[in-house]
Homo-oligomer: A and B are copies of this chain.
Amino acid sequence: MIFELNQRLRADTFEVAVLDLSLLLLMNDKTAPWLILVPQRQEIKEMHHLDKNDLAMLAEEITLVSCLVEKVFVPDKINVASLGNIVPQLHIHIVGRFKNDRAWPGPVWGASGAEPYDATEAARLIERLKSELKI
C-alpha cells in the first residue's frame, strides 16, 4: 500500500527529511523545537503494531532526532510521545522543552500560544537541521 501523509500533519508541518523508515517533519510552531517522525506504514496506528524490524528502526530514528534536538536547541527536557487521539496516522512527537516555554511544565499538546514561523525562519531552520543530519 502506498504511503500518504495525513492531511492534517501535512498542513501543520514542513518536511525536513525522508529517513529510512520515517518522514521527519518540523511542526510549524516557533515557540518550541518540535519535530515529528511519521513511519511510512500506511495503516499502522499504534507503535506496538509495527513489526519488530520497523520498531527497531523507529527506536533508532527517535534516538537520532532526540540527539539532533538536544544538540541544536539545548533544551531543558525532551518530550517524546505517540498520542494520535486527533490524527490517527502513527506519528511520534519529539519536542524540546524549556522551563520558560509557553506550556511548561504541562504538555504542549492542546496548550494555547502556538505561533507559525515566517518563511525565511523556517527555511533557515530546516537547512540547519538537514546540515546536522548530514542530509
Chain A residues within 8 Å of B, Cβ to Cβ: 45-48, 55-56, 59, 62-63, 66-67, 70, 77-86, 97, 104-107, 109-110
Contacts and interface: CB of A to CB of B under 8 A. Distances in A.
Contacts of A86: 105
A97 B81 contact: no
A105 B77 CA distance: 24
Contacts of A56: 56, 59
B55 A63 contact: yes
Contacts of A55: 59, 63
Contact of A59 (B46, B59, B79, B106): B59
Contact of A107 (B45, B67, B83): B83
A83 B59 CA distance: 16
Contact of A80 (B77, B81, B97, B105): B81
7 contacts: A48-B67, A56-B59, A77-B83, A79-B83, A80-B82, A81-B107, A85-B97
Given A46-B66, A47-B62, 4 more contacts: A46-B78, A80-B82, A81-B83, A106-B109
